[in-house]
Structure 1
């Protein structure tokens, strides 16, 4: 198998593994390596060393993994936003309690 396709296969495996662990650092590392690897694979297709169908197959897999990662990122973002809203509500409640407490008793 040509070197670029082997590298792309390894990256796809790394991407799947990182997704299974929700390892954002590894996902980012793989993401940074994808473009040059795809460019090398496209060059191999142009040179006739690789069939276009083989590359298309891997690109389809990559697209599915990218969509899965995007969905996970949206979910993580939404969970973080909910957490921040909860913290904000607690802070407002604590401030309101402090304001009432500082007023002292009313007679």
Structure 2
């Protein structure tokens, strides 16, 4: 059976069930490819350092980089969504029936 058109084949990356997130994860780990890529950028890690840091094969880190660099629009949209959801989410506590509203802490300067 052939893969659908435009579907990429990844050796180390897989989708995981999530209500809205579509980005790929490192196979066998609850680790987003984006987390590895971001860690490399923020901490100025080499490929080898990232592989050692995350206990991953070099090929897995390399694949995560390729994926993230070729899916930047998706990653940007999901980062924006992630930032929005905690502020706007209302959830009902199943045990108490009370409503909890997420919020962001805001620093207020006194004058």
Whether the TM-score (by the shorter chain) exceeds 0.5 is: no
What TM-score do the two structures reach when normalised by structure 2? 0.30
Larger RCO (alpha carbons 8 Å, 6+ apart): 1
More strand by share: 2
More helix by share: 1
What TM-score do the two structures reach when normalised by structure 1? 0.30
